């Protein structure tokens, strides 16, 4: 029992140090678009229809520009599950 009393704080300390280095492994993003030359993360995920079309959006404050939606902020891989017509966003 005496060893248990000494060992418990040591285990708690080791666990606290270990948990300090944990990260979220697979965080789903709503999508990224390029606005004004910079990556912009969408607040809502408009691409919810199961399809093979690339997802495209139009912002209500800029209705003349169609933006491609990407999976990550590096703007390399296009996001699927889109529609033939772009989604209109009020962001």
Is the C-alpha dihedral spanning 16, 22, 27, 33 positive or negative?
Answer: positive
Residue 18 lies in a domain: no
Count of structural domains within the chain: 1
Residue 25 lies in a domain: no
Residue 81 lies in a domain: yes
pLDDT in the model for residue 35:
92
Strand order in the sheet with 87-89: 62-68, 56-59, 87-89
Residue 62 lies in a domain: yes
- Confidence band, pLDDT 50/70/90 cuts, at residue 59: very high
CA 23 → CA 16, 26, 27, distances in Å?
Answer: 14, 9, 10
* Residue with token string 């989604």: 87
Residue 26 lies in a domain: no
Residue 19 lies in a domain: no
Strand 62-68 versus strand 87-89 pairing type: unpaired
- Confidence band, pLDDT 50/70/90 cuts, at residue 50: confident
Residue 77 lies in a domain: yes
What pTM value is reported for the model? 0.67
Write the secondary structure of 15-37 as one string of H (helix), E (strand) and C (coil). Answer: HHHHHCCCCCCCCCCCCEEEECC
Residue 11 lies in a domain: no
């Amino acid at each position: 029992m005496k060893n248990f009393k000494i060992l418990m704080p040591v285990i708690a300390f080791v666990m606290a140090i270990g948990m300090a280095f944990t990260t979220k492994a697979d965080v789903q993003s709503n999508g990224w678009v390029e606005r004004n030359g910079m990556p912009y993360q969408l607040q809502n995920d408009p691409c919810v229809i199961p399809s093979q079309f690339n997802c495209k959006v139009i912002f209500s404050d800029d209705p003349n520009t169609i933006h491609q939606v990407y999976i990550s902020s590096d703007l390399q891989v296009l996001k699927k599950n889109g529609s033939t017509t772009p989604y209109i966003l009020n962001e």
